[in-house]
Structure 1
């Protein structure tokens, strides 16, 4: 079903059908291993590399509190790019802005001041002169869209950023932001990034329909729902299965996961591959973000590109993990 590359939303930019997520680089994956994973991804045709300025801190610490390790992930990618400068033209480099990168009151969210400074700092850590894609990591209800777009347009004029996107935005946030961009004569957003998987399908109500209508691509993160869809019953003794979202989800959804892994056995495929393949079959999905911690994890994920799920298999997965019932308002009204 899937080709290896597709357009990023309505833009002319071609990106791979899988994106490499780098959130584990630093806290869980050391620099040498991260560089090996990056090499393997590019060699296999994956060109979309996703990161964020706040990545690199211990995942168990407060997400938006100030920790000295923030920025470490961008630094790891930067040293990889610096080793072979020609790599920069081989990848579509995406990072994000919003989270606190210091203790000052203006070191967070989406004021024009923070956007400008955060972009410059990301460029420094990544050792590049431009970003292909810059995403607003979260909605900022305290900053007007006019101010945000004024700051973003300046970055584009300066050649520091080519395309813009959002992350963790509701459907109406995306529509509102896009409307302001269009009034300014700008292309606006080309992608939204949000949590989406068989276990978490809320975006089907409004976010995905809004993106499809506006020609905005969609990058699902946490496609394995923190490992819950990655064959957790097969690796009950692995440390990863004893912590985080996977452990919590397994306690409340064990019967569901048992049905899922049985279905995957019947399909003859690994659960992680099936979860990614399902996302690749969903209308509007550009590229699931694969947060590989090892080269083996990356190779397993790439198998999803060659898996086609038939109508019966898709129906079975829908029965195991019912979605919200379609887009709003039909999902809950006539």
Structure 2
């Protein structure tokens, strides 16, 4: 396998892949799906394989499985010895429940640190905007976390371009510690190309870390995107997130992706992830997997295919049709 690529996120070296822990102990932040994700043993095996592959960034949130995701990572860190903490970077999020008020954020970061069994979070994100908390106050809160030694760098998730410009407005040079955006982005869902988010990131010097690189599994090619979303599947469990992408147009795009992947002896998942690796604005991609083998295949395929500008442009134009 080709060596993992490392890029700067807030001045810190991070792997081009980050292991997403949204399904450790549950499925995302859904309380209805607690216990339906990876077990602790399965999650620990994924974490071990991620580190072996050179992945050094783990992404979670205080609301994933009601805190169980963080706790699973914490038990893994504690069981692997003190040296493991020096090898990996931990990112978490706050604000999906309870908002981004200062008192709530300070209480939640302490809960996250306790579950993770660490003293400082390397990265902390505002999970979603909070209409009740002006961005200037939110930035002051997060900078206070940096000064208190609870957080090293912070960013924003699920934001619009207008949010980014508001965050930049209060201070020339930007808030200390503010460095990046984490939004949904993949071959089928490229709203940030057209809505000004990527333009704002470029002008404000913000890194970009996309999540959902396979559009909930649509880009894996294993679903026939016809009729209704099938029950009993991961995408069926979160149909509220992916129903918009379940269209005949995207079915045709996935078929094109499958043909192009086969021509390069890759899986559709591998090629879709390779495309993101080579997007010039991408810093690190949040990848999830249900097994260590699945994770290794995805990473290996995305890294082993060399740079190919014609293929990259062809994939880009195919999805814009």
- Give the TM-score taking structure 1 as reference length: 0.83
Alpha carbons 2:221, 2:255 under 8 Å: kept: no
Deviation for aligned residue 1:234: 8.7
Shift of 1:235: 12
Do the aligned residues in 2 keep the contact of 1:149 with 1:181 (CA within 8 Å)?
no
Q: Which residue of 2 aligns with 1:92?
A: 89
Equivalent in the alignment of 2:187: 198
Matched, 1:255 2:244: no
Summarize the Cα distance change of 1:249–1:232 in structure 2 as closer, same or farther, 3 Å threshold: farther
Aligned pairs for 1:164-243 within 5 A: 164-180=154-170, 182=172, 186-205=175-194, 206-233=196-223, 240=233, 243=236
Query: Would the alpha carbon gap of residues 241 and 37 (structure 1) be closer, same or farther in structure 2, given more than 3 Å must change?
Result: closer
What's the counterpart of residue 5 of structure 2?
4
Structure-2 change in CA distance of 1:137 and 1:271 (3 Å): same
Contact kept in structure 1, 2:146 and 2:177, CA below 8 Å: no
- 1:59 alignment counterpart: none
Please tell me whether residue 113 in structure 1 is matched to residue 111 in structure 2. Answer: no
> Given the alignment, which residue of 316, 319, 322 partners 2:317?
319
Q: Map 1:129-144 onto structure 2 (within 5 A).
A: 129-144=119-134
2:39 to 3, 26, 30: 30
Distance in 2 of aligned mates of 1:77 and 1:261: 34
| Deviation for aligned residue 1:31 | 0.2
CA deviation string 1:98-146 (max 9, x = no partner): 022xxxxxxx111111111111111111111110001000111221223
The farther-off stretch of 109-118 and 186-195 is 186-195
The residue aligned with 1:76 is 72
Which 5+ residue runs of structure 1 have no aligned equivalent? 57-69, 101-107, 324-334
Residue 305 of structure 1: aligned partner = 303
Paired residue total: 300
RMSD of equivalent CA atoms: 2.5
Following the alignment from structure 2 to structure 1, what is the Cα–Cα distance between the partners of residues 21 and 234? 20
Aligned partners of 1:210 and 1:15: how far apart in 2? Answer: 22
Q: Which segments of 5 or more consecutive residues in structure 2 lack a partner in the other structure?
A: 27-36
TM-aligned CA deviation for residue 171 of structure 1: 1.4
* Local SS of the residue matching 1:227: helix
Query: 2:33 is matched with which residue?
Result: none
